[in-house]
Amino acid sequence: MSNRRKTKITKSINIAVREILQGNIIALPTETVYGLAADATNEEAVLKIYETKRRPLFDPLIVHIRSIKEMKKYAEEIPAEVYKLAEKFSPGPITYILKKKKVIPDIVTAGLDTVAIRIPAHPMFQKILAKCKVPIAAPSANMFGRLSPTCAEDVYKELKGKLNYILDGGQCEFGIESTVISFIDDTIKILRPGFITKKEIQKVLKKKVILVRIKSRHSKNKLTIYSPGMMKTHYAPKTPLYITDNIYDFKEQSNVGLLDFSNYSSLNEVAINLFSDLRKLDEQGFAYIVASKVKDSGIGVAINDRLEKASKGRVKMGKWEIKFSIKK
Ligand code: AMP
Ligand code: MG
């Protein structure tokens, strides 16, 4: 028996609240990308997120809360640095990895004793948090490994038939997932680059932080826990994506899609449009897509990170084609 259902796009906060409190999943807007949300304290609801996205159960979810004040309800031993950063950047596109409290079920954190916490800035998400009064688990609203959606229509294309409602909050402000920063070890580590850059973080903390370029951690009970933000391949279109020096070398080839950033006036604009532009090219049936990396500083680090993972290490130089193994 099929459990496909009719998916509706709505602007009603009350419907979203009702769905979450009833233990259902709902897609909702955040300022980064659209999320697939459920009550983080309801294990069955959280399981629906993993099932719907086909996300492996070893891959933990971000928990969204209303305010800095609430952090200590869900995390312990919160270092002073977290508050310093939160005062500057939260609500906003930054996620803190902290020691978890028991109120967060293990399924949310994939069995880890740490929890990822973010305070989203999107006004609709803030209203939902205020009305639901529960923490909300919400990974990006895409099938696992695919492009993150940045508008309600893109969520619909990804997930139609798999949930009752998509809450439409327009185009996402940032278009790239949050910066993930860990406070678990002695050194503060950025696990996933995002809109809040390493430089900005270091400026606030007045100390060095490390941008981690590895993809696995080993827990004591032999499980290898991967963070997809740190996985080698992710955020991928169905059409193969190649990184190249000059996309215009492919201009004459009608079966090649060019991911062209030349009309954007800033890297911020490139980031905002990255996933939706890739998705548009992906829908056109090209044999492959080509893109060039951007300047590797500031938000460019996050853009290049997503391009590298989306390309799965494929590079084209003229007639030559190479597949690198990504070392991260
Ligand atoms: P998504 O919500 O799909 O954008 O992905 C959330 C990112 O946060 C993924 O890279 C997760 O692996 C990562 N993440 C969530 N919880 C933890 C945690 N406790 N420790 C390390 N990474 C985490
Ligand atoms: Mg994701």
pLDDT tens for the chain, 328 residues long, are 456 789 999 999 999 999 999 999 999 999 999 999 999 999 999 999 999 999 988 899 999 999 999 999 999 999 999 999 999 999 999 999 999 999 999 999 999 999 999 999 999 999 999 999 999 999 999 999 999 999 999 999 999 999 999 999 999 999 999 999 999 988 999 999 999 999 999 999 999 999 986 443 443 333 333 454 456 667 889 999 999 999 999 999 999 999 999 999 999 999 999 999 999 999 999 999 999 999 999 999 999 999 998 998 888 877 677 776 654 4
Cβ contacts of 220 within 8 Å, gap of 6 or more: none
Domains and CATH numbers, the chain: 8-211 (3.90.870.10), 241-326 (3.40.50.11030)
As a whole number of angstroms, the distance between CA 155 and CA 140 comes to: 10
In contact, 206 and 60? CB cutoff 8 Å: no
CA 326 to chain centre: 20
Residue 256 CA to ligand 1 center (angstroms) comes to 33
Residue with tokens 């028991």: 102
| Nearest CA among 109, 131, 118, 309 for reference residue 229 | 309
Query: Tell me, what's the pLDDT at 277?
Result: 97
Cβ contacts of 130 within 8 Å, gap of 6 or more: 66
In contact, 216 and 226? CB cutoff 8 Å: yes
* Omega before residue 105 within 30° of 0, cis: no
Whether ligand 1 lies within 6 angstroms of the CB of 29 is answered as no
pTM: 0.90
User: Nearest residue CA, atom 3 of ligand 1?
Assistant: 139
Residue 142 CA to ligand 2 center (angstroms) comes to 7
Query: Tell me, what's the pLDDT at 321?
Result: 75
Phi, psi of 323 (to 5 degrees): -120, 110
| Nearest CA among 156, 164, 288, 306 for reference residue 231 | 306
The distance in angstroms from the start CA to the end CA of the chain is 42
Pocket test for ligand 1, best of 46, 183, 190, 191 (most atoms within 8 A of CB): 191
As a whole number of angstroms, the distance between CA 29 and CA 168 comes to: 7
Whether ligand 1 lies within 6 angstroms of the CB of 270 is answered as no
Query: Tell me, what's the pLDDT at 220?
Result: 39
Query: Tell me, what's the pLDDT at 185?
Result: 87
Query: Tell me, what's the pLDDT at 218?
Result: 40
Phi, psi of 75 (to 5 degrees): -130, 155
Amino acid at 185: D
Query: Tell me, what's the pLDDT at 325?
Result: 61
Query: Tell me, what's the pLDDT at 231?
Result: 62
Query: Tell me, what's the pLDDT at 225?
Result: 39
Which atom of ligand 1 is closest in space to residue 140's alpha carbon? 3
In contact, 233 and 145? CB cutoff 8 Å: yes
- Measured from the alpha carbon of residue 136, the closest ligand is 1
